[in-house]
Amino acid sequence: MSFEALANWIHNWLYETLHPTVALLVEFAIVGVLIIGLFAVLGLVLVMMERKVSSWMQLRLGPNRIGPWGWFQTVADTVKLIVKEGMTPNNVDKLLFNLAPMLVIVVSMVIMAPIMFAKGIQIWDINIGVLFVAAVSSLSIIGVLMAGWASNNKYSLLGAMRSGAQIVSYELSAGLSILVIVVLTGSLKMSDIVMAQADGWWLFKGHVPAIIAFVIFIIAATAETNRAPFDLAEAESELTAGFHTEYSGMKFALFFLAEYVNIFVVCAIGATLFLGGWMPFHIGSWEGFNHVMDYIPSSVWFFGKTFLLIFVIMWFRWTFPRLRIDQLLSLEWKYLLPISMFNILLVTIIALAGWHF
C-alpha cells in the first residue's frame, strides 16, 4: 500500500466516524506530530551526514566511538543538549531572546506546508505554493535579527546584521530563478509544477535558462541558509558564533535544528522545481527503462533528489573558503542578479515561442 492510499484511508475513516470539525482537528494533530518527528529525524540524520561528509572530504574518520561507525553520535549530542541548562543572560531582552529560537523553528515548520513529499503526500496544496515558500522563508531572518539584537552582544548584533544584508540580497536571485520555472510551467502550484515534469525534468527540458537558474538557485539557497561559503552570520573565526553566541542548551539546539531543516527545505524546493519532485527519471521513448523507473517508490525519488542536493551544498561547504562581506554583496549584485535578469528574459522568449520540450 502506498503512502497516498494510507493517507486517503485515514482521511476517509476520520471523516466517517467523527464530526468534520473534530476530524480536521485530529488531522492537524497528526500532521503536527509527523512534522515534529520529521524534524527530529532530519536533525539527527543531517548533522551526522554533515560530519561524515566533512570528515571523508578531509580524509579523516569522523565520529567513530558511539554505536557502529559512530552513527549514534548525534543521538548522544541531542541528549546532551536537552539535559543542558538553557541559560538567559542578565542584560538581555528576555522576551525577544526567548522568542527568537521559537520564531526561527516555527518558520521552518511553516515552509513544510506546500512541499510534496511523495505522490499525493502534501500538507497543503495551495495555488500559490512557490510564492508561499519564497515569502515565508524570508521571515526566518526576523528571528535571526531578533536573536542578535536581544543578546546585547556586539558579535551577535554584527552577525545578525550581516545575515540581514545577505538574505535581502540573495532573496532576489533565488526568487528570479524560481520564476524561471514558474514561467515554464505557467503555475505557482507545487502539484502542477511536479505534474509538468512527468515527461522530463525542467533541468533537461528547459534548455540553457533552466540550467543557469538551477546553478543560481543552488548558490542563493546556500546563501539563504547561512552556510559556508556564505556563513558570515556565524563566521566563527570572527564573531565566535554570530547571532547565537549567547544561546545555550535547547535554545541553541533549536537554531541548529532550524539551520539543518532549512537546508532540507531549500533542497526539497530545488528538487521539486528543477529535478521533478517525486517524478521518476524518464528518458524519452525508452519504454522498458521508464517502466523500471516507475517501480521505485515516489518518496524514494523525492528524498533521493533532495539528499543529492544536500550533499552538493555540503560539498560546497567543505571546499570553498568564506567570502568577505563586500565580495558576497558584489557576487550577488554584480553577477548573479544581472545574469538571472537576462535569464528570465531568455526563458520568457523560449516559453512564448514554445521552444521548450
Q: What angle do CA 93, 97, 101 make, to 5 degrees?
A: 165
Nearer to other proteins, 57 or 135 (CB): 57
Q: What are phi and psi of 321, to 5 degrees?
A: -80, 160
Least distance to other proteins from the beta carbon of 61, Å? 5
Grid cell in block for residue 75: 543521538
* Closest approach of other proteins to the CB of residue 265, in Å: 23
Q: Which of residues 38-77 bind other proteins (CB under 8 A)?
A: 53, 55-61
C-alpha cell belonging to residue 40: 527530529
Minimum CB separation of residue 334 from other proteins in Å reads: 8
Please, is 292 exposed, middle or buried when counting C-beta atoms within 10 Å of its C-beta (0-12, 13-18, 19+)?
Answer: exposed
Q: Is 320 in the site for other proteins (CB under 8 A)?
A: yes
- Residue number, 60 or 324, with CB nearest to other proteins: 60
Judged by CB, which is closer to other proteins: 28, or 56? Answer: 56
Shortest gap between Cβ of 342 and other proteins (angstroms)? 12
Per-residue binding string, other proteins, 299-318, x by CB under 8 A, is: ----------------xx-x
Interacting residues with other proteins between 99 and 128 (CB under 8 A): none
- How many residues bind other proteins (CB under 8 A)? The answer is 15
For cell 506546500, name the residue: 114
Q: How far is the CB of 181 from other proteins (least distance, A)?
A: 22
220-233 in b/e form (b: 16+ CB < 10 A) is bbbbbbbbbbbbbb
The DSSP code sequence of 261-320 is HHHHHHHHHHHHHHS-TTPPP--TT-HHHHHHHHHS-HHHHHHHHHHHHHHHHHHHHTTS
Q: Are 274 and 201 contacting, i.e. CB atoms less than 8 angstroms apart? A: yes
User: Which of 320/357 has CB closer to other proteins?
Assistant: 320
Nearer to other proteins, 28 or 335 (CB): 335
Shortest reach from residue 318's CB to other proteins, in Å: 6
Q: Which is nearer to other proteins, 281 or 316 (CB)?
A: 316
Asked if 241 interacts with other proteins (CB under 8 A), we say no
Residues 188 and 134 sit within 8 Å (Cβ to Cβ): no
Q: Looking at residue 159, what DSSP letter applies?
A: H
Q: CA-to-CA distance for 202 and 277, rounded, in angstroms?
A: 10
CB of 57 to other proteins, least distance (A): 4
Q: Is 342 in the site for other proteins (CB under 8 A)?
A: no
The nearer residue to other proteins, 183 or 328, going by C-beta atoms, is 328
29-49 exposure pattern, b = at least 16 Cβ within 10 A, e = fewer: eeeeeebeeebeebbbbbbbb
Please, which residue, 8 or 319, has the CB nearer to other proteins?
Answer: 319
Nearest approach, Cβ of 300 to other proteins (angstroms)?
23
- Residues numbered 146 to 205 that lie near other proteins (CB under 8 A) are none
Contacts with other proteins by CB under 8 A lie at 53, 55-61, 315-316, 318-320, 335, 339
